Amino acid sequence: MVDDIPPTADEKTELLQFPTSYPIKVVGRRSDTMRANIDAIVRQHVPDLEESQIKERASNQQHFLSITYTINAQSKEQVVALANALQASKDVIMLI
């Protein structure tokens, strides 16, 4: 069914009015460099990101890490570019 297909980042931003607070959750395999690599990608697109806007949580067995960035999105283009950059990273398993 077409209704079962999750919306893309582009489709999700259609209804938003910018600027807006926008949470992006990144899930990846936990490693020594994963958090730093993902932070670097996010900061390229959101230079004013503060540590208070980042929440992280390890899986029960510590194999995976989810990081939620609540950004101050300025435009649809910014959100889409960030999502595309994150999806291109080998550190990212899932983007929500």
Backbone angles phi, psi at 17, to 5 degrees: -110, 130
pLDDT score of 1 more than 60: no
Query: What is the C-alpha to C-alpha distance for residues 91 and 88, in angstroms, rounded to an integer?
Result: 9
**pLDDT single digits (tens) 23-77:** 999 999 999 999 999 999 999 999 999 999 999 999 999 999 999 999 999 999 9
**pLDDT single digits (tens) 26-39:** 999 999 999 999 99
**The model scores a pTM over 0.75:** yes
pLDDT band per the 50, 70, 90 thresholds, residue 20: very high
Token pair belonging to 55: 């929440």
Segments forming the whole domain that contains residue 84: 2-95
Q: What is the pLDDT of residue 16?
A: 85
Give the count of domains, the chain. Answer: 1
CATH number for the domain that contains residue 21: 3.30.70.260
